[in-house]
Amino acid sequence: MTADGRIIVSILQQGVWDMPFESMPLAAGYLKSTAYTDPRIVAGADIRICNYRGAVTLPMMAADLFKDSMPDILACSVLGWNYRAFGTLAETFKQLNPDGWVVFGGTHVANQADRVFGMFPEVDVIVNGEGELVFRDLLNVYLDGRSRHDLHEVEGISFRDLAGATVTTAERERISDLDIIPSPMLTGAIELTDAEGRFRYDVALMETNRGCPYKCSFCYWGGATGQRVRAFSRERLRAELELLAKLQVHTIALCDANFGLLPIDEEFVDDLLEIREQYGYPRALESSWAKNKSKVFYSIVRKMKQAGLRSSFTLALQTLNDTALREMNRKNMKVNAWEDLVAWLSEEGLECYAELLWGAPGETIETFFEGYDRLARKVSRIAVYPLLLLPNTQYSEKKAEYGIVSIRGDTDDFEYVLSHDTMTFDENERMQRFLFWARLMAEYMVLRHTWVPALQLAGLTQSQILRDWESWVEKCDDPRAVPLLTAQTLAAADQQAYGPALGYLYGSADARELLRQWWTESMSPTLPAEVAPVLDEIFRYDLLTMPIYRKEGERQEGAPLPLVEVDGEQYHVRAGVELLYPVPEIVAELRADRVPDLSPTPTTVDLYYKTGFESFAETTNHEEIVYFMGMLLDQVTAVKAATTDEGAVDDGGDPALGPTEPSRLLPILREHGGCS
């Protein structure tokens, strides 16, 4: 308890990524702001949000939580990556405070009482749905002096009675009027600024609505939030936007399932643009866009483009195979008509990236590669993720029906699919290797200019090039390949392995020499003689335009580049780069499906690289990495003219797209995060 007799309630959140950032604790803020609508709780409870970045260890969290004061209630926002860590903290907490309560909430533990209580008997309560009102009820029951084994009247939870039997109370109705949840930003439940008065997070998380009309087999979003979409009021959202604009927040990242589906979404964008006109901020809007694109979506996109408001447009296709789509419950979704959308975005001068899943029931290696290359003909930046079985999803509940064999992760609690009726162990092992290289080389844009020219000039598909690299590097006995092969071995079970691999590729002269050797030995000899020289030069241009990252401890190429200022921002400049062909023009023509002049035409260019890449080089955040690629000066100034900030880069057709996954983009702090 505090010195004035209030109970201490610690709400825990921890992000997944191992980077020097901390995410905005929106969910914890909802719990705190809603609890404080009750005057009794205001008087009787000191609610603290304890927000940790992914790199913070268990001993560090324990010291922060328990060293100076002991919580009476430990409330944990649980996801697959922190499930085991929070279970371990619960065990430590009970050693120190046997009478304290441990409350678990979140989609990973909802409706999983028997498993959670079996693994972590120190957990007292599990919240099975929306948590705001449940949390407030639990605090009142605690203040009443009730036993944690006598919570029968609290709806929407599971607990254990005095005999140790699991009790699950009646399901609580979804919150129909979301405005009864006070804004954690407007009420001050979340600290928005640091000691210097600056906005302390990288992006501001907002939620404009709840609900998802879909029931995809791999996802629990619709089941967790309900099928009917409920919205926060326009007035409340506008007030939040205005507050964030005054704090000069650059990017708003929405936590909605299908933004751009409803007319209220366009109203939100109208308000955002009006506020930006007044304050100059926000500069970007990111969201999970509606799977089925309506007239509202197209209207929103046009308005954002006209106003120079950045965003990224994701084709969340998951698969292009009809059988797998049917098993996913996505067969009839309009998202499958993706080619028309890509064409429309191209006509509007916008581009997108795509997401695919590997390992879905009904998918085979052959159908996957067929879909991958079909997609890559239009969209070369493809993020491919392995299928994970999540609690409460159809895939998880019908494992036997699909013949799924899975295993839990080493450091997380996700179920990784090993095989099923249309995928053997050996096939999955082979594809996991491909996924690693595909993500490094295509999603993270180690190569980005090469893909389209190689296809159009030499008939080489994206997967063919990737598999050639895979085969070559895995047979390579060069010590320069060791960091990549080590990361590849670890990546199937630990997504953090991508960071060091990216840092090596971007920040080491050894890695670039290895890439040149592969191209010279394995790719260039297979190219048609008439186009080999130009493709060789385009590949060289890819390496030249990689971001500037002088990684400590790695051998570098050349001396540090001089710095110049362009429109108030710092850039490294590589002056007088001599090219045998006008590569930027050739790439732009090919991407526009036009026939370029391939005559050797010596060209000299200056390349500009935005500074500050060190903060993103190993974050596996491809949405931010794109901003640091080498550009021509007219591309830099065009960006500034469009948005008066980073804006949308168009260097021959590759857009600078903003962040789409809020959990991957976290605020820059000098500390590890902690309780506030």
| Per-residue pLDDT tens digits for 91-147 | 999 999 999 999 999 999 999 999 999 999 999 999 999 999 999 999 999 999 999
Domain that includes residue 162, residue range? 7-172
**Position 477 in a domain:** no
| Per-residue pLDDT tens digits for 256-310 | 888 888 899 999 999 999 999 999 999 888 888 877 778 898 899 889 888 878 7
d(C-alpha 203, C-alpha 351), whole Å: 22
The Cα-based distances of 68 to 57, 252, 457 in angstroms read 18, 35, 66
Domains identified in the chain, total number: 3
| Per-residue pLDDT tens digits for 499-552 | 889 999 999 999 999 999 999 999 999 999 999 999 999 999 999 999 999 888
Q: Are residues 12 and 149 in the same domain?
A: yes
Select from 423, 443, 468 the last residue of a domain. 423
Q: Are residues 12 and 120 in the same domain?
A: yes
d(C-alpha 152, C-alpha 640), whole Å: 60
**Residue 623 — very low, low, confident or very high, per pLDDT cuts 50/70/90?**
low
Is residue 580 exposed (0-12), middle (13-18) or buried (19+ Cβ within 10 Å)?
Answer: middle
Residue-level pLDDT at 592: 85
Q: Are residues 54 and 165 in the same domain?
A: yes
Select from 373, 401, 423 the last residue of a domain. 423
Average pLDDT, the chain: 88
d(C-alpha 473, C-alpha 480), whole Å: 10
Which letter does DSSP use for residue 336 in this model? G
**Position 228 in a domain:** yes
**Position 641 in a domain:** no
d(C-alpha 146, C-alpha 447), whole Å: 61
**Position 472 in a domain:** no
Length reported for the chain: 676
Q: Are residues 304 and 166 in the same domain?
A: no
**Position 442 in a domain:** no
**Residue 587 — very low, low, confident or very high, per pLDDT cuts 50/70/90?**
very high
Task: Give this prediction's pTM.
Answer: 0.83
**Residue 638 — very low, low, confident or very high, per pLDDT cuts 50/70/90?**
low
Q: Are residues 131 and 39 in the same domain?
A: yes
Q: Is 322 helix (H, G, I), strand (E, B) or coil?
A: helix
Q: Which residues contact 293 (CB under 8 A, 6 or more apart)?
A: 260, 334, 335, 341
Q: Are residues 150 and 97 in the same domain?
A: yes
b/e per residue 603-629 (b: at least 16 CB within 10 A): bebebbbbeebbebbbbbbbbbbbbbb
| CATH code (residue 379) | 3.30.750.200
| CATH code (residue 209) | 3.30.750.210
Residue-level pLDDT at 578: 97
Select from 394, 423, 452 the last residue of a domain. 423
Q: Are residues 57 and 128 in the same domain?
A: yes
Q: Are residues 133 and 11 in the same domain?
A: yes
**Position 577 in a domain:** no
| Contact status, residue 492 vs residue 417, Cβ threshold 8 Å | no
Q: Are residues 17 and 123 in the same domain?
A: yes
**In this model, does residue 568 exceed pLDDT 90?**
no
Q: Are residues 79 and 156 in the same domain?
A: yes
Q: Are residues 11 and 139 in the same domain?
A: yes
